[in-house]
């Protein structure tokens, strides 16, 4: 057996001992091998894909300390709580600690009592901290949420630029391992360059998570949808994201008025209320969190069963990060995006309100347009996501997204397409979607008449559709690649080569026709059916709920969130296996040796009393 194989066997034994899993996922294995071989490594893995294991296991095997750069206090605390619960020596240093506590933790690292130390990127800029770290043996610097280093990423944070100078200033350069859940090729280039990774091994893996059913619903009464969904899924934790504080407050009040225990989270609330809501959600005291995008990056809650976007997010990176907070335990979960054209105006307003240079603003508009196209796409949503991030895939439909489960038949839309494309051509490709829709409808508005568009042969050729329905149709053609929009706040619609083929009669357009606006709500609900319908399950729900109560009691004693004891997937497996011995318990995924010694007896006694 060669050295690499021996190392990986040892890594597997640590994985079983501390985390309770018999083997790595394929993406994890490659990254762990890379780090243990001493190579700088860049790992792009989805939220819930197990990124932290990729540096935590090597940290246990490498000499000295692994320094973890992490952006949020809550994220550090969550990670350290989970590690110490599993029996791994870890600590964090952040602004919540006193000077004495900071010094105690640095001394512990110097004695070799710590394997992982979590710090915020801002701390790397402090002279005294750099000096202290220079006296330690640091084998690896792991950079979490590494997309923050790029100005083209969706969470740009200038302090991340301190990572490379810090690493280069250490007496012996450690391995640098960078991780994030989402990154376009452009952002990946930035991470490699700005973190000064040396000939890094790069892994992009598993962004399309099989347990997440993605849906885009158009034309819903959003408020009623959220209320009904929260009521019918009252036993499940979920997050509802809204674009503005006002919408968060409105939804929160309406949920409470309807007897649904909910919390809210946005930057306009006091620290006390935000922290209280977050803690109540983590400990399952409330089941629904209504929040702006200010909530979530540091939340490692594994049993979130649904994420609803009340508004379209500003870009695909933000959407995948936020939606990916569902189903981190691998259990089936839903990600539902409630889209309306008004969302486009909201996001454009937010872009204009944010002071930034013209280049960054153009980039924000480009990304917004890609998000709009995703919302209108009739193709598999998982394809759209993987294509955006440049991950290679086999073009096999996922079978569970709203596009794949759409029951409407394909119809020949070639004639309608030719009318739309001809109108755009006759308008010299100089106007936006709304203006084209007005001409096709036969509007007598001032601008249509001013430009003389009422004399075009295509004027009024779609009289039976509303202007909104024509706009929807045009947007679907954009999403399917027949048309394109220019960048900027006021984009104009242009023909693509495929549209020219349609005009020449060389290409047939087969697609699902957009439903009349009046029936969209019913249609949307029908299309959602079939993703993860409730059906017969080997899980005994009564036993599962009793196990959750045992877990809750243990969590309260330990003063940690319940999922840090065992996640829902582990409890579900217990409810099926009904273990009655130590060996049975250790065979359940998520039950490591340390956790078994701490918590296993309470569960074993429950199952023995069932016999």
What whole-number distance in Å separates Cα of residue 241 and Cα of residue 252? 11
Axis-axis angle for helices 342-353, 358-376 (nearest 10): 170
What whole-number distance in Å separates Cα of residue 293 and Cα of residue 319? 10
Q: Are 364 and 338 in contact (CB under 8 A)?
A: no
Tell me the CA end-to-end span of the chain in Å, nearest whole number. Answer: 45
127, 147, 52, 106 alpha-carbon torsion, rounded to 10°: 10
Q: What is the pLDDT of residue 440?
A: 97
Report the mean per-residue pLDDT for the chain. 88
Radius of gyration of the chain from Cα atoms?
26
Q: Regarding predicted confidence, which is higher, 526 or 370?
A: 370
Q: What is the pLDDT of residue 526?
A: 38
Ramachandran bin of 263, using left for φ above 0, alpha for ψ from -120 to 50, beta for the remaining angles: beta
Residue 521: band (very low, low, confident or very high) from pLDDT cuts 50, 70, 90: very low
What whole-number distance in Å separates Cα of residue 489 and Cα of residue 486? 9
How large is the average pLDDT for residues 116-133? Answer: 94
Q: Regarding predicted confidence, which is higher, 295 or 483?
A: 483
For the residues of 199-214, what is the DSSP string, one character each? S-EEEE---S-TTEEE
pLDDT at 445 over 80: yes
Residue 342: band (very low, low, confident or very high) from pLDDT cuts 50, 70, 90: confident
Residue 584: Cβ within 10 Å count: 16
Interior CA angle at 104 toward 102 and 109, to 5°? 95
Residue 109 neighbours by CB under 8 Å, 6+ apart: 65, 91, 117, 136
Q: Are 209 and 49 in contact (CB under 8 A)?
A: yes
567 membership: H or E segment, kind and range: none
Distances (CA, A) of 260 to 148, 176, 226, 299, 535: 36, 46, 11, 22, 25
Fold that domain 3-204 belongs to in CATH: Rossmann fold (3.40.50)
CATH class of 411-514: mainly alpha
Q: Regarding predicted confidence, which is higher, 311 or 528?
A: 311
Q: Locate the domains of the chain by residue range.
A: 3-204, 212-388, 411-514, 541-610
Sign of CA dihedral 449, 451, 456, 459: negative
Distances (CA, A) of 589 to 106, 129, 593: 34, 39, 11
Residue 524: band (very low, low, confident or very high) from pLDDT cuts 50, 70, 90: very low
Q: Regarding predicted confidence, which is higher, 332 or 207?
A: 332
For 251-276, the pLDDT digits (tens) are 999 999 999 999 999 989 998 999 89
Burial annotation 378-406 (CB, 10 A radius, 16+ → b, else e): bbbbbbbbbbbbeeeeeeeebebbbbbbb
Which is the CATH superfamily of the domain at 212-388?
P-loop containing nucleotide triphosphate hydrolases (3.40.50.300)
What whole-number distance in Å separates Cα of residue 74 and Cα of residue 78? 6
How large is the average pLDDT for residues 488-504? Answer: 91
User: Is 436 strand, coil or helix?
Assistant: helix
Residue 160: band (very low, low, confident or very high) from pLDDT cuts 50, 70, 90: very high
What whole-number distance in Å separates Cα of residue 572 and Cα of residue 554? 17
What percentage of the chain carries pLDDT values higher than 90?
60
Residue 556: band (very low, low, confident or very high) from pLDDT cuts 50, 70, 90: confident
Q: Are 262 and 255 in contact (CB under 8 A)?
A: yes
Considering the domain delimited by 541-610, tell me its CATH architecture: Orthogonal Bundle (1.10)
pLDDT at 116 over 50: yes
Q: Which of 179-188, 190-199, 531-540 has the highest mean pLDDT?
A: 190-199
Q: Which residue has the tokens 């409630």?
A: 338
pLDDT at 402 over 90: yes
Q: Are 109 and 132 in contact (CB under 8 A)?
A: no
For 408-432, the pLDDT digits (tens) are 788 899 999 999 999 999 999 999 9
Distances (CA, A) of 106 to 61, 76, 195, 293, 528: 20, 16, 25, 34, 53
Q: What is the pLDDT of residue 515?
A: 60
What whole-number distance in Å separates Cα of residue 300 and Cα of residue 86? 15
How far is residue 459 CA from its own chain's centroid? 44
**One fold for both 3-204 and 541-610?**
no
Residue 608 neighbours by CB under 8 Å, 6+ apart: 580
483 membership: H or E segment, kind and range: strand 483-485
What whole-number distance in Å separates Cα of residue 548 and Cα of residue 192? 43
Distances (CA, A) of 124 to 42, 76, 273, 384: 20, 16, 30, 38
Kindly state the tokens that stand for 292.
């702006």
DSSP 211: T
Q: What is the pLDDT of residue 349?
A: 87
Q: What is the pLDDT of residue 534?
A: 43
To the question of pTM greater than 0.85 for the whole model, the response is no
């Amino acid at each position: 057996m060669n050295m690499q194989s021996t190392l990986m066997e040892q890594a597997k034994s640590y994985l079983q001992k501390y985390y309770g899993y018999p083997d790595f996922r394929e993406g994890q294995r490659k990254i762990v091998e890379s780090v243990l071989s001493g190579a700088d490594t860049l790992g792009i893995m989805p939220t819930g894909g197990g990124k932290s294991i990729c540096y935590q296991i090597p940290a246990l095997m490498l000499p000295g300390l692994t320094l973890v750069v992490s952006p949020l206090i809550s994220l550090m605390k969550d990670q350290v709580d989970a590690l110490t619960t599993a029996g791994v020596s870890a600590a964090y240093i952040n602004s919540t600690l006193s000077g004495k506590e900071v010094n105690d933790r640095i001394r512990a690292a110097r004695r070799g009592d710590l394997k992982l130390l979590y710090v915020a990127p801002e701390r790397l800029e402090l002279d005294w901290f750099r000096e202290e770290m220079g006296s330690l043996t640091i084998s690896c610097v792991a950079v979490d949420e590494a997309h923050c280093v790029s100005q083209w990423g969706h969470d740009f944070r200038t302090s991340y630029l301190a990572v490379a100078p810090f690493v280069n200033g250490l007496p012996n350069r450690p391995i640098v391992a960078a991780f994030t859940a989402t990154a376009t090729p452009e952002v990946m280039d930035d991470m490699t360059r700005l973190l000064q990774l040396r000939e890094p091994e790069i892994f992009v893996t598993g962004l399309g998570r099989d347990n997440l059913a993605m849906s885009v619903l158009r034309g819903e009464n959003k408020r009623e949808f959220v209320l009904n969904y929260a009521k019918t899924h009252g036993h499940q934790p979920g997050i509802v994201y809204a674009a503005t504080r006002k919408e968060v407050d409105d939804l929160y009040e309406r949920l409470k008025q309807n007897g649904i225990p909910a919390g809210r989270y946005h930057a306009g609330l006091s620290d006390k209320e935000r922290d209280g809501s977050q803690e109540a959600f983590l400990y399952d005291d409330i089941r629904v969190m209504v929040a702006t995008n200010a909530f979530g990056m540091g939340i490692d809650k594994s049993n979130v069963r649904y994420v609803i976007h009340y508004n379209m997010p500003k870009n695909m990176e933000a959407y995948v990060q936020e939606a990916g907070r569902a189903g981190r335990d691998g259990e089936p979960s839903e990600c539902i995006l409630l889209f309306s054209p008004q969302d486009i105006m909201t996001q454009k307003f937010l872009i204009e309100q944010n002071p930034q240079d013209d280049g960054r603003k153009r980039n924000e508009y480009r990304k917004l347009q890609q998000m709009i196209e995703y919302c209108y796409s009739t193709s598999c949503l998982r394809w759209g996501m993987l294509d955006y991030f440049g991950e290679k895939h086999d073009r096999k439909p996922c079978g569970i997204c709203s596009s794949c489960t759409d029951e409407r038949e394909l119809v020949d839309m070639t004639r309608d397409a030719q009318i739309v494309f001809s109108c755009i051509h006759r308008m010299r490709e100089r106007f936006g979607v709304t203006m084209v829709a007005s001409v096709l409808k036969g509007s007598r508005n001032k601008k249509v008449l001013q430009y003389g568009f009422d004399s075009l042969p295509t004027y009024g050729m779609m009289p039976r559709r509303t202007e909104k329905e024509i706009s929807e149709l045009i947007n679907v053609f954009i999403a399917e690649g027949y048309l394109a929009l220019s960048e900027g706040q006021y984009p104009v619609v242009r023909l693509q080569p495929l549209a020219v083929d349609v005009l020449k009669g060389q290409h047939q357009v087969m697609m699902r026709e957009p439903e009349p606006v009046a029936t969209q709500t019913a249609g949307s609900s029908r299309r959602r059916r079939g993703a993860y319908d409730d059906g017969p399950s080997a899980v005994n729900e009564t036993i599962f709920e009793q196990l959750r109560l045992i877990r809750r009691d243990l969590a309260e004693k330990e003063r940690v969130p319940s999922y840090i004891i065992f996640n829902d997937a582990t409890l579900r497996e217990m409810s099926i296996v009904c273990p009655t011995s130590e060996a049975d318990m250790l065979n359940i995924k998520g039950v490591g040796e340390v956790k078994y010694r701490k918590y296993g007896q309470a569960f074993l006694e429950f199952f023995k009393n069932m016999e």
